[in-house]
Structure 1
Amino acid sequence: MPREPDQSLLHKPLLRYWLATRPGFLAASLVPALLGVAAVIHQGGPVNGLLLVLTLIGIVLVHAGVNVLNDYYDDLNGTDRCNETRIFPFTGGSRFIQNGVLSARSTLHFGGLLLLVATLLGLGLTLASGAELLLVGVAGLLLGWGYSAPPLSLNSRGLGEPAIALGFGILTPLGAWYVQTGTLGLYPVLVSLPLSLLLMNILLINQFPDRAADAACGKHHWVVRCGEERAARLYLLNVLISMLLLTGLVLAGSLPEAALLALLPQ
């Protein structure tokens, strides 16, 4: 298990800011983006390599910015400070603020800078692909920022789980699809549904160790609202529905048979 960050990182600024983005979780946005591109390929469309690279960079910047801002707001509302049952690095935040590696102000500014650069890149992609990408991007940024930040504080209102499923699981593949095709479509939304439920489960399972601290600080996500037993059943239900959706999409011809490999135990 990795150690929590300490002040030895103060002398390694590049590594310090890189680790503050919680890079181990960034695959949760890269995979949906690649799914959107795979959907283009499956439908026989061409893929522009440069636009693909720029799309992936933009999506990683958004995700990194959301992670950093989540650390700031979870420190501000007290959940990370009072969390004594965390399992680092999966729950309880990055610990950068609490361990004195980054100040709260620096964390806020860094997160904002990441989202600003992502926004500028997104505007460039909008010029290259079409104005409707702006709608997808604005919706994604709003969900990402509002996940932790007041006044929305979606995760505290029991809306964080569907926000993750929508933002990462559906809007990300749709955006990657749009950059390549210049059109919005139902197909990338359909094929992203199984993955969106699994992405929701990543959030759900990581909330179990944080339940007591989150409840004490008013962060009423699904594990707090449902209790651990019912939340565990919901986790399994999401897995089952995801498997059924994947199978149905293959049987309907919307996905290739090779997609069934995802059902194999890992």
Structure 2
Amino acid sequence: MIYTRIAWEGGNPFSGGSGIVVKERITPQQVKRASLAALLAAILVGIFIQFGLKTGPWTLPLGLTGALAGYYYSTPPFRWAKRGFGELIIGFCFGWLPVATAFYLQTGSFHPLIFWFSIPIGCTIFNVILLNEFPDYRADNLAGKRNLVVRLGLDLASQIYGVATLLAWIFLVVSIFSGAPTELAILITPLYIMGGKIYLELRRGAYGDKHILRRLCGFNLAINLGTTALMILCVIIYL
């Protein structure tokens, strides 16, 4: 994901990236070398974990899945970020994939609860990427970067934000009925109420005000980070 992070364009502390490639503070060749070095290190660590620590046969395939998804997020032939699939790919790679992989590495197996447990995390990071694309709507449209917001338009994309927020809460409840600690709902529900308020702001046309949108992007990121942190905390304390 190094290449993706550095090359990501934008004009907002939450949308876009550092711009260091565009500003020529680092060359594309340097980015490529850093990416290859990170990939090589990840492969070596993966080999050691699978065969040295004997974590199981799915260790390397899970790592490879993340590597390929990250690489093709912004590179041909797929360029998921420009085809309306990038948001879903990130939801998967920052939702199910790390949760399932962490569980598998420690237990050598998968559990149905992990699937339900990971969906709220995936939905909230999906919303982070989605909302972060709002400030760049015009620029992305002109540049031909047809991400989900450009394809749907701001109004429909704001409705998708609301759907993802609702799904996060629904699957939080499902995970509790599947064995997650009930304290999780008490702790996380306020975050999803905040998500509902963001949705209402968007429906009122807040995406037209860059200052309000900047504030909403900050709250939105807090929802994702809070969801992840509280889930980890509940697992440590109650399971």
Percentage of matched positions with identical amino acids: 29
Q: Which residue of 2 aligns with 1:254?
A: 179
| Residue pair 1:148, 1:156 contacting (<8 A) in 2 also | yes
User: How far 1:215 moved relative to its partner?
Assistant: 2.0
1:107 aligns with 2:31: yes
Q: Which residue of 2 aligns with 1:134?
A: 60
User: How far 1:157 moved relative to its partner?
Assistant: 1.1
- 92, 106, 122: which is aligned to 2:46? 122
TM-score normalised according to structure 1 size? 0.67
1:69 aligns with 2:19: no
5+ long unaligned stretches in structure 2: 195-239
Distance in structure 1 (CA, Å) of the matches to 2:173 and 2:139: 38
| Residue pair 2:56, 2:108 contacting (<8 A) in 1 also | yes
Distance in structure 2 (CA, Å) of the matches to 1:215 and 1:119: 37
Runs of 4+ in 1 over 4 A off after TM superposition: 71-74
- Pick closer, same or farther for the CA change 1:243–1:72 going to 2, 3 Å: closer
1:151 aligns with 2:77: yes
Higher relative contact order (CA 8 A, sep 6+): 1
TM-score normalised according to structure 2 size? 0.74
User: How far 1:154 moved relative to its partner?
Assistant: 0.8
C-alpha RMSD over aligned residues: 1.7
- 118, 135, 138: which is aligned to 1:212? 138
Number of positions where the alignment pairs a residue of Structure 1 with one of Structure 2:
189
| Residue pair 2:47, 2:60 contacting (<8 A) in 1 also | yes
- 227, 232, 236: which is aligned to 2:158? 232
User: How far 1:99 moved relative to its partner?
Assistant: 2.1
| Residue pair 1:91, 1:209 contacting (<8 A) in 2 also | yes
Distance in structure 2 (CA, Å) of the matches to 1:198 and 1:72: 22
| Residue pair 1:161, 1:203 contacting (<8 A) in 2 also | yes
Q: Which amino acid aligns with 1:259?
A: L
